[in-house]
Structure 1
Amino acid sequence: MVSARSKHLQSHSSFVTISSFSLILVCCLILLFIFAHPSFYASFPLLIHASHGHLIALDNVNKSCIKTPNFCKYEEGTWIYDGRRKYLYDEGCPFQRNAWNCIKNKRPSMDNIFGWKWVPKSCELSQISPHLFLSSVRNMKIGFIGDSLNENFLVSFLCILRTADEGVRKWKRKGAWKGAYFPKYNATVGYHRAVLLARYEWQPVSAKIHSVKPGVKGINRVDVDIPADDWINVTNYYDIFIFNTGHWWGSDKFPKEKPLVFYREGNLISPSLSIRDGLNIVLQSMGSYIERTVPKDRLKIWRTQSPRHFDGGEWNQNGSCTFDSLLEENKLEYWFEPKNGGINREAREVNAIIKHALQGTSINLLDLTHLSEFRADAHPAIWLGKKDAVAIWGQDCMHWCLPGLPDTWVDVLSAVILEHLSARSHSLGCR
């Protein structure tokens, strides 16, 4: 006969067996869920395939040193209307330029102009946090170098950052055209006006210049291998550079009677170059100069062209841009594709030259063209602040209302700079 104690032990053993089986089953289900869940790969030690195909746990690897590529392409996306978006500054910003101050100049529908939000296809683009950004660039200097399109960018940048430090002071040193110093963060932002980037000077016919064609009043001599005086000495001064040129490289700025004539090493380049061929040579030379003289640890950005939206003619031919809506995507090729020969083809033509000339350098392209092509609604147009401005200069379908589209450029620039600083911080932490 089996004793009561034996029965009790058998019963307890069966219970333990069932309980153990249940526990194992639950554990297996939990493990199955964890392995199937994407977050497993982020929370467990990194696993790699060894030479024999076995998985090895790298417990000692500093995972923060393993850089995940950034696949975000801010230039690809869609505009979505978001009525919750608010201006970060208004017409009272001391850095505003009168012709771009569209609130002050009573441009209609400013809320609609600012209400559109750019949504990249592959990532999030947040509106800049001025406090966070300035904290991240504390003790640093940022330099914009180029033409008025970069100045349009700069004014938006300064007006936005000012909201985080109202003690900001205007700054104009090191040959800067304008700029600002943010004492709360010991940060400096400067703008150097250099419309061709290369040095150029007007030489009238009376000067000792090479023979010129009949009707030419003089030449604009361009030394393709010498940076303009405005920025030649600042390549070791800034921590972050934003370059541009292109808007001035056309016959409207340098007509046949006042042509650009190109020199290298002090000698006339022969045969003579067209304006666009000259742009290509200057871009290559300036890119090389930047590579040689800007320290390797500095961030170098080249922003692409800002598209124009002239309709019915050029700026001096009654061209107009008093639109109140965005262009549809299927209209972009008609407006901007060089093969169509339209008056707004300039941006894409110049971008092609920029991308070719800077290929192989460490200069980062910031593509702002495509997202801007939609925004026919966002130019100052006839709202320029001066009574006779349109009669004298025509409508402004080249620059942008502030606040407006350049604030989105600032959002993109901020994201790119913060990504760079984060990557650099990780790199330094891995040494």
Structure 2
Amino acid sequence: MPKTIFPLDSSKKFEENELVGHNRWHPDIPPVATVKPGDTFRVDCREWFDGAIVNDDSADDILNAPLNDVHKLSGPFRIEGAKPGDLLIVDILDVGPIPGEDSGPLAGQGWGYTGVFSRNNGGGFLTEQFPDAYKAIWDFHGQVASSRHVPGVSFEGLIHPGLMGTAPSAELLAKWNKREGDLIATDPGRVPPLALPPQPISALLGSVPEGEHDRVAGEAARTAPPRENGGNQDIKNLSKGTRVFYPVFVDGANLSLGDLHFSQGDGEITFCGAIEMGGFIDLHVDVIPNGMELYGVTENAIFMPGRVDPRFSEWIAFSGTSVTLDGEQRYLDSHLSYQRACLHAIDYLTKFGYTPEQAYLLLGAAPIEGRLSGVVDIPNSCSTVYIPTAIFDFDVSPSASGPTQIDPGIGAPRAANVA
């Protein structure tokens, strides 16, 4: 087993451990450890809310989710000799849930969760149709997940880190803050907001010296979106066996990671749409000197996915076009067409007895595939959602006999009120 260079004690809060990670991006956050090109090592990761979401039948914790606190990232890890302009090679050798008691208190110890955030506290891809907070707990049985809140389905997890990336340079950080600030200024009162500016409240900055804390907290970027450094890309295929090539912007690269997912559908459409969990990840790193120029990777990571995906041979697929629910035509709006494809799938699944919320949670957590199927046929973009039929324990294909009616069970817990 590789040496663990960032251990976490499950009995302690994330910031109470001996090594303290961070929840913001900034070049001045000091590395917690140094590795060499060619090294293999293990990193423990806490789920992104560090235990704030619990295994019960209430969604009040999702309603009040502390979004200023996320993500709790392990790192940064300095790679000896890495220089700006290089490419950092990161091989994901293994990744899995927190080892330990199946009924442990932390997500990853035998269970995980999927959430729908309240429109007033995070929102999601379909927040206009689903403005309230909901939650589903998923139990792990080896590689398989099932839920008391979404009955009739089970599937193998494609476990992966939702977030991994290198530190930005001071110049790149300023670029992020400028462009996102300009976007916020176009509609500063929007709910949910158009972007998340630096927020010193709840900023966790590793071992930044006390005298520098306020400056760094006021500049540091939030970890919610993906950016040029990788970050919160939420790519479900970034799993075991994957090789990722990250641009390097600072000496040592300063790699950080977290936000592990047991499974996820393309798009992570509920925002907390994966099956969130804590766990471990084994990595191997190397460096390509001047790799950014050599391969034209001036921004955004590239990757070669592994070959451990669950294999599905039969699917049921749903399409959507860039026309709003009110009948307004939009020009080649692929974001809208994917929304319409997801809503098409949700409406279909309700005919079998699921509530809309159960169907929405399922699309976020199960290994669905989303595709941009047409982007040139003006005025309509066409997007599609593919659901593997093998995840259901009943036939979901259309037939003359009509849809099988399932017992929706206790349903997805809903928060008592809207935040």
**Bigger share in strand:** 2
TM-score, length of structure 2 as denominator length: 0.21
TM-score, length of structure 1 as denominator length: 0.20
Find the structure with the greater CA-based Rg: 1
RCO higher in structure (CA 8 A, sep ≥6): 2
